[in-house]
A = this chain, B = another copy of it.
């Protein structure tokens, strides 16, 4: 009998005290069991790294159960079927799933979706045509509900979610203002993604720069960051503005951040709504169809930061929490 094939996996082995670190993770090698009847095996090509994973590392009240210790870290993956004993899949099929931080995934087919990698690159199903894209679509269309001529702002504007928010808002006829960290990201947001303006939050004059970038105030805001960025935007919101609260990454890895002036929510009669895209599955088909068409026709641009190899996943994930990525953060597994 041949040796069993080896699967490399990353487990969460401890919870962060304050900042997350590479020591919270551990790489293990596990032999793959032979496929049972009805099962399908996938070689994962890309692993998605996303801010929500930081929340799962804690044992705190949140919208999802914590990631169990000593199990494979949760995560979205795309890959190709290598072997199938399930009639719905055959070797060579491209599939998107939630196999987590590991090279191989085995499934009975549930939670696994075949995708067409001929017009849209496989990795995009973890980004613009995946969960981040639908997140952008939902927050923009179902919470902000932008009208042509309004000003829409988005933080983490060069990221997987923010870049889609801004391009969709631009297509809806809005003035679009990005907020990103550093001159290089800001240039990309304006020159490549086509935003009207981008403010560098690291330039230490966020209030003034926002005033210039959004001279008529802000009607819709898509929030990924929280903290002082949210404070600055709140002060520029117009009456009856809408805020889609998707993330607050600046407070994930350490002490939670306060909101300095909640009074603006009242004085400007704002609507602020937190959401999690996985609770709105009803919009996914429509959103994915629209996003896929836009990517295939080159009307929706995106950029990826790709870490090479599973070993580098923890370091890449910590970098994501600090904004070191530029565009969608992936780990290439083949």
Contact = CB atoms under 8 A, between A and B. Distances in A.
Contact of A267 (B61, B269, B270, B271): B61
Interface stretch (A71-79, A150-158, A256-264): A256-264
B274 A265 contact: yes
Interface in A260-288: 260-263, 265-276, 279
A66 B256 CA distance: 35
Interface string A164-194: 0000000000000000000000000000000
Contact of A270 (B248, B270, B274): B274
B263 A256 contact: yes
A257 B248 contact: no
A13 interface: no
A37 B273 CA distance: 53
Contacts of A259: 258-259, 262
A245 interface: yes
Contacts of A265: 245, 272, 274
Nearest to A271: B273
B258 A261 contact: yes
**Interface size bracket, A side:** 20 to 34
Contacts of A251: 263
Contacts of A159: none
A49 interface: no
Given A271-B271, A272-B271, A272-B272, A245 B258 contact: no
A239 interface: yes
B63 A239 contact: yes
Interface string A31-50: 00000000000000000000
Contacts of A61: 267
Interface of A: 55, 61-63, 226, 230, 239, 245-248, 251, 256-263, 265-276, 279
Given A230-B262, A259-B259, A269-B275, 20 more contacts: A55-B267, A62-B267, A63-B268, A63-B269, A226-B262, A248-B262, A256-B261, A256-B263, A258-B258, A258-B261, A258-B262, A259-B262, A262-B262, A266-B274, A267-B274, A268-B274, A269-B274, A270-B273, A271-B271, A271-B273
